[in-house]
Structure 1
Amino acid sequence: MLKFLALDRFTILIFVMVLLATFLPVSGQAADIFGILTIIAIAILFFLHGAKLSREAVIQGIKHWKLHVLVFTFTFALFPILGLLAKPVLVPMLRQELYWGFLFMCCLPSTVQSSIAFTSVAKGNVASAVCSASFSNIIGMFITPILVSLFIFGQAQNDYDATSSILNILLLLLVPFILGQILRPYVFPKMQKIPSIVKAFDQGSILMVVYGAFSSAVVAGLWHEVDGNTLFLLILVCSILLTIVMLLAHYVPKWLGFNVPDQKAIFFCASKKTLASGVPMAQVLFIGQPLGMIVLPIMIFHQIQLMVCGIIANYWANRTSSEPLE
C-alpha cells in the first residue's frame, strides 16, 4: 500500500516532522540556534547538488532547447497564471496566508530528483530531463523572487526588496551550488563511496527546515487557523491544479510534434514543483510571515504529485518507448 501511494521513508518523515513540531515545537533561543544550523545545512545541501550534477548530461541535454522552453513556460508562466486566476475563489476559501503559499508554490521551479527518476522509470529522455530540471532550479533562484515580488508582495508590502531577496538566495543556494560544480572532480568520487550518508544529509536538511518552519507556525497558532475543512479544501485545490497542468503537459507536447521519449520528459518536468528548493526559498523570502502556512501548500502538492507520477510512470514503463501515449 505504501508503495502504491508513493509513500517512501522521506515522505513519512516529513509527516513525522509536522507531528513533532505540533507537539514539541522548538522555540525561543533554541529556535534561533536551530535556525542557524538549518541555514548551514541548506548551504551544504546545494553544494552537494552542484557536485552531483553531471556536466556531460548538461551538454547533451542543453541542445534540446525547444523542450526546455516548453518546460519553462509551464513552470514559470502557466502555473503562476493559473494561481492568479484562482485568487478570487481561493482567498475567501483558504484566506490570505494560505493563498500566498499556494501562489508561491506556483512560482517555484520544477523538481530535480523525482523528475529524473520518473522519466527514467517511464523510459523517457533522461538526459533532457536532467538538464531541464536542473536548469529550472538554477533559473528559479532568479525568477521565483521576482515573481513573488510582483504577485505577492507587490500588493501586500511596498517595502519588499526583490534585489535583496535574490542576493540572499544566491548566497545561500547558488554560490554553494557553483562551488559544488567547481569541486565536482574531487567531491563526487567521495560522494559515490558514501551514498547513504549523502542521501541522509540531503533529506535531513529538508526535514530540519520543515520542522523549524512548522515549529514557529505552531507557536504562532497554526492549527487554530487551519482546521480540517480548510486542509481538505487545500488538498482538493492542489489536486485540481495538478490535474489541469498534467492534462496540458500530456497533450501540448503531442500537438507540437515531440517524440514519445520527449513527451515523457516534458510531462514529468513540467507538472511538478520542488519541495527541496521551495522550503529554503520560503525561509529567505517570507521573513516575518507565517512560514508554516506558506509551505503547507507545497508540502501537500509535493505528496500528491509523487503519488500520481508514480502510478503514471509505472504504467508507461510497461509500454514500448516508441508506442504513442494515451
Structure 2
Amino acid sequence: MRNSGIRVILLFCISSGILFSSPNLIAADWLKIIRSIPYSYSNGFHSNLSNIRQWVLLQNGFCEVPERHILFNYRGNFLGYIENQPEKKLTQNKLNDTRQSLQQKGKVNRWIEGRKNQTGYPFALNCNQPHADIYAAMKRLFGHDKKDRLWGTWDGMRIGTEKSPVPLYQLVEEVYKKKSSIIKQPVKASEYRHFLAQIIIESGARKNGLSKANAIGLLQLKPSVLKDCQIPQKHYRHRMAQVDCAVRLFQQNRRNLKPVFDQKFGHLPADKQQTIFSLLLVQSYHSGVGRISQLLLDPNFNQAANHFAAEHNKYSAEDIATGLIYHNLGRKKLGFASLYYVIDIAITAQKLCTQKQLSNSWVCV
C-alpha cells in the first residue's frame, strides 16, 4: 500500500527557524522544532500547505516550471523558490544559501543547513515530480479514452459488457457499495470520495502499477494482503479483485477506528466529525490503523488529540486531521510522507468533485 508510482517522492529539508542559532545541528534537531511548535499554529496549516502541494500535484503556480525547489516555513507559508542546478549537490548548496539569505532578510529567525540524510530549514520541496500527473490519472479514472474503459465479472458481480465497457470510476463505485453492504458497513460520501482519490494518488488509476515494495495495482496492495483477501494469485491484477480487497481493508479499518475516534471526537458537530474521520481513515490505510488509534488514545502520543478535541472550535476539520500527524512527526514511524499523503488525498478528492462526472453526484453533493 506504500511507495506507489504516482505517490510523490519528496525532497524535503527542515530547519529550526525559531529556536537555534547555529546551522550546524544534529539531524534529530528537526524533531525538536516540531515539538516546540504550539498546537495553535495548526490553525490554517492545512490550507497553507495545500496551496504548496497543489503546485506540485497540478504542476501550476510556482511549480509550473518543474525544475525548481520551493521553500516554506513551519506554518506552511511559501517563502520563495530556487532554480534547480545541474547536480544534486549544487542544488543543495543553492538551497542552503537561500535559507541563510531568508534568515538575513528576516523571513525566518533561524536556518538549518540541509545535507545528505539531514533535513534543513526552511522546508524545501522539489517541484519535479514526474509521476504526479493528476490530470492524466483522472482521464484514466473517468474513461476519457475508450482503451481505459473496462468490463468484467468477479465474485458474482458483472459490470459492463464487452460491447459496452464502463469507466473505472463506475466499476469502483459498484464494487465499493456491494462489498460494503456484504460486510455491513455504511457507505459515506466523504469516505468514498477519499477512497476514490486514493486510487489517483496510489497508482495513477493504473491496474499494473508496481512499487519497489512489490505493491500491486490500483490501490497498491502487497501480495500478502491480496492473499489474506483470498484472491488467487492469477487474479492479482484483476481490477475488480483489487478493489474488492481494498474495500474490505478500508472498511475493516473503519470498523476498528470508529469507536476509538468517537471516544475522542464524538462530541464534535456531525459534519466536522465526518471530515476528520474520513481523513484519518485514509491515513490509516497509509500508516496503519493501530498507529492512528494510538495518536487518539495512547497517553504517550495523544496530547495533540486532546488539545484539538477540547479546542475544536478554533480549527477547521482539515487542520485537526493534519495537525494530528504534523505534531506527531517522528513518532510511531510517521514521517513527512504521511503528512503529505493526507493532504494530497484531500486535494485530489476536491479536484475530483470539480469534474462533471461527480460534481452533481451523491459523492460530492
TM over 0.5: no
More helix by share: 1
- What is the TM-score normalised by the length of structure 1? 0.29
